[in-house]
């Protein structure tokens, strides 16, 4: 028997609330982008920041879309190319399909938000819950006003577990997302001054994260970082809504308590009490921050009815993804340097974590620990201070050399002693050659910056000009 389609034609049409012109086949996937569209996908013509999906609706149908969901007033334009569903508002229709997917699901649903670690936590949950049942998780970092309904609309009816990431740049964004996801278990990884330019204070950020409670199912549980300064504020807000609070961390009162951890260069070993169950597991990627996130992950596994022992086994297979700690050996056999790619994202919390991680990474005899740092963006008025403070951390752990670029990183660079200053440029592009030229066999080099700082090309240049030997563990 063929697997059930994601949506039968009738269920899909009913969920959109629209009207179909022509024969609607079953829908096997959902797409909002013709570049990644697959045959059988329903294409939603979303109005984005730069593009109007309606400009691609015809191409979507020609590429084999089962239908195109478009605004009523333009439905007639595309009906020659295939089945068209006209709706009053395309984004609302996508939300409605997402809500219908959630309504028909009998899965345990986990919602993840927080200032850092959302995607990593979601990916870890996806990995470690899989041995306990069919597990579905949102793709990539799809966590905003279109990403969340898109992820929900793809939620298969058969899934046992569903994991959804929710993000925000401003107050009032997480609430509506959470009401769509309706998690049984909500995780707030941590609260840090990220996107602070849109907020008055860290407390205001905590309040915006707490909006996840608005959609958390009655009787649901929230997992909160017990070691975070905002814990009490968040716990009070959750309790006010009648939710059960479970803290994770090192704190003596944490219900999910770290008992012991060993952070090795390629992995960590953890022993923790997960609400009374003592488990020991290995995390297949390094970093203290991943140990912290793993406590929330294991707590959610237990609360969702997953198998803790199997989850612990699976955790050993975790790999740091590209841009978020991926490790590569560059150079030639017996003359390699270690490259750590952190180019996807940077804020004070993840910067500290990455620097601590580099400090822990062994180098060969004569090798140096080198950080290549681009601006952390969206930090508002205190940005230069927050950058300069990172210099203290670098001096404390004793990194050997720092290359920096961007106007904010200038503050960090100037705060370093001359022997640690490797080079500075206004833009990443102009730093590339000096970094490539400086790295020698035996070194460990970590590249980090906000995506907008464009540090990725430095990583690529290191790879192409030194040569990639192997993916390190």
119 binds Mg ion (CB under 5 A): yes
Task: Name the residue nearer to ligand ADP (CB basis): 21 or 361.
Answer: 361
Cβ burial of 35 (10 Å; 0-12, 13-18, 19+) is exposed
Packing angle of the helix pair 288-303, 308-315 (nearest 10 deg): 150
Tell me the three-class secondary structure of the chain, residue by residue: CCCCCCECHHHHHHHHCCEEECCCCCECEEECCCCCCCCCEEEECCECCCCEHHHHHHHHHHCCCCEEEEEHHHHHHHCCCCCEEEECCHHHHHHHHHHHHHHHCCCEEEEEECCCCHHHHHHHHHHHHHHHCCEEECCCCCCCCCHHHHHHHCCCCCCCEEEEECCCCCCCCHHHHHHHHCCCEEEECCCCCCCHHHCCCHHHHHHHHHCHHHHCCCCCEEEEECCCCCHHHHHHHHHHCCCEEEEEECCCCCCEEEEEEEECCCCEEEEEEECCEEEEEEECCCCHHHHHHHHHHHHHHHHCCCCHHHHHHHHCCCCCCCCCCEEEEEEECCEEEEEEEECCCCCHHHHHHHHHHHHHCCCCCCCCEEEEECCCCCCHHHHHHHHHHHHHHHHHHCCCEEEEECCCHHHHHHCCCHHHEEEEECCHHHCHHHHHHHCCCCCEEEEECCHHHCCHHHHHHHHHHHCEEEECC
Least distance CB 115 / Mg ion (angstroms): 11
343 binds Mg ion (CB under 5 A): no
The one of Mg ion, ligand ADP, none whose footprint includes residue 435, by CB under 5 to 8 A per kind, is none
Least distance CB 113 / ligand ADP (angstroms): 8
User: d(Cα 160, Cα 9) in Å, to the nearest integer?
Assistant: 23
Least distance CB 26 / ligand ADP (angstroms): 33
Task: Name the residue nearer to Mg ion (CB basis): 118 or 126.
Answer: 118
Least distance CB 352 / ligand ADP (angstroms): 7
Least distance CB 346 / Mg ion (angstroms): 13
Q: Which stretch binds Mg ion (CB under 5 A): 94-102, 114-122, 144-152, 271-279?
A: 114-122
Least distance CB 433 / ligand ADP (angstroms): 25
Q: Nearest to residue 459, comparing CAs of 337, 377, 366?
A: 337
The one of ligand ADP, Mg ion, none whose footprint includes residue 292, by CB under 5 to 8 A per kind, is ligand ADP
Least distance CB 220 / ligand ADP (angstroms): 21
Task: Name the residue nearer to ligand ADP (CB basis): 132 or 345.
Answer: 345
State CA 87 to chain mean position distance: 31
Least distance CB 175 / ligand ADP (angstroms): 18
Least distance CB 200 / Mg ion (angstroms): 24
Binding positions for ligand ADP, rule: CB under 6 A = 116-120, 141, 189-190, 289, 292-293, 324-325, 342, 345, 349-350, 353-354
User: d(Cα 106, Cα 50) in Å, to the nearest integer?
Assistant: 37
Task: Name the residue nearer to ligand ADP (CB basis): 6 or 256.
Answer: 256
410 within 8 A of 372, measured Cβ to Cβ: no
Among 58, 99, 118, 289, binds Mg ion (CB under 5 A): 118
The one of Mg ion, ligand ADP, none whose footprint includes residue 349, by CB under 5 to 8 A per kind, is ligand ADP
Q: Which stretch binds Mg ion (CB under 5 A): 118-126, 214-222, 230-238, 398-406?
A: 118-126
Residues 136-175, mask of contacts with Mg ion (x by CB under 5 A): -----x----------------------------------
190 binds Mg ion (CB under 5 A): no
126 binds Mg ion (CB under 5 A): no
466 binds Mg ion (CB under 5 A): no
The one of ligand ADP, Mg ion, none whose footprint includes residue 353, by CB under 5 to 8 A per kind, is ligand ADP
272: left (phi over 0), alpha (psi -120 to 50) or beta: beta
Task: Name the residue nearer to Mg ion (CB basis): 8 or 141.
Answer: 141
318 within 8 A of 305, measured Cβ to Cβ: no
The one of ligand ADP, Mg ion, none whose footprint includes residue 450, by CB under 5 to 8 A per kind, is none
Total binding residues toward Mg ion, as defined by CB under 5 A: 3
Q: Which stretch binds Mg ion (CB under 5 A): 116-124, 201-209, 261-269, 295-303?
A: 116-124
Residues 371-410, mask of contacts with Mg ion (x by CB under 5 A): ----------------------------------------
Least distance CB 379 / Mg ion (angstroms): 18
Least distance CB 224 / ligand ADP (angstroms): 13
Q: Which residue is nearest to ligand ADP (CB)?
A: 117
Task: Name the residue nearer to Mg ion (CB basis): 86 or 167.
Answer: 167
The one of Mg ion, ligand ADP, none whose footprint includes residue 189, by CB under 5 to 8 A per kind, is ligand ADP
Structure tokens at 290: 């991943």
Chain residues that interact with Mg ion, rule: CB under 5 A:
118-119, 141
């Amino acid at each position: 028997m063929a697997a059930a389609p994601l949506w039968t034609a009738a269920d899909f049409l009913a969920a959109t609330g629209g009207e179909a012109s022509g024969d609607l086949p079953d829908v096997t996937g959902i797409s909002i982008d013709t570049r990644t569209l697959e045959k059988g996908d329903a294409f939603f013509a979303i109005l984005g920041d730069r593009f109007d999906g309606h400009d691609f609706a015809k191409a979507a149908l020609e590429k084999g879309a089962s239908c195109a969901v478009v605004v009523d007033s333009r439905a007639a334009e595309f009906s020659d190319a295939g089945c068209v569903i006209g709706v009053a508002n395309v984004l609302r229709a996508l939300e409605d399909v997402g809500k219908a997917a959630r309504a028909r699901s009998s899965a345990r649903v986990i919602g993840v938000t927080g200032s850092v670690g959302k995607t990593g936590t979601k990916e870890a949950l996806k990995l470690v819950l899989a041995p306990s049942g069919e597990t579905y998780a949102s793709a990539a970092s799809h966590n905003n006003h279109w990403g969340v309904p898109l992820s929900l609309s793809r939620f298969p009816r058969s899934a046992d577990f569903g994991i959804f990431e929710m993000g925000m740049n401003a107050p009032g964004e997480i609430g509506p997302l959470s009401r769509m996801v309706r998690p049984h278990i909500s995780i707030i990884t941590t609260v840090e001054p990220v996107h602070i330019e849109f907020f008055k204070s860290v407390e205001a950020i905590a309040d915006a994260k707490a909006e996840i409670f608005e959609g958390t199912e009655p009787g649901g549980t929230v997992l909160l970082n017990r070691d975070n300064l905002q814990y009490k504020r968040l716990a009070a807000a959750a309790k006010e809504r009648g939710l059960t609070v479970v803290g994770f961390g090192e704190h003596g009162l944490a219900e999910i308590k770290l008992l012991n951890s060993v952070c090795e260069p390629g992995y960590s070993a953890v022993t923790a009490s997960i609400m009374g169950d003592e488990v020991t597991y290995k995390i297949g990627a390094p970093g203290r921050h991943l140990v912290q996130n793993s406590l929330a992950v294991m707590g959610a596994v237990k609360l969702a009815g997953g198998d803790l022992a199997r989850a612990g086994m699976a955790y050993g297979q975790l790999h740091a993804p590209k841009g978020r700690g991926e490790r590569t050996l560059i150079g030639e056999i017996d003359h390699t340097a270690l490259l750590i790619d952190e180019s996807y994202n940077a804020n004070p919390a993840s910067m500290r974590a990455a620097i601590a991680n580099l400090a822990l990474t062994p180098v060969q005899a004569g090798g140096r620990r080198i950080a290549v740092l681009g601006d952390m963006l969206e930090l508002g008025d205190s940005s230069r201070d927050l950058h300069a403070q990172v210099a203290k951390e670098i001096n404390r752990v004793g990194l050997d050399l720092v290359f920096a670029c961007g106007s904010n990183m200038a503050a960090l660079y100037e705060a370093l002693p001359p022997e640690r200053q490797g080079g500075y440029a206004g833009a990443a592009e102009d730093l590339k050659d000096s970094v490539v030229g400086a790295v020698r066999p035996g070194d460990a080099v970590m590249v980090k910056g906000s995506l907008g700082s464009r540090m990725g090309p430095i990583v690529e240049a290191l790879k192409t000009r030194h040569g990639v030997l192997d993916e390190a563990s």
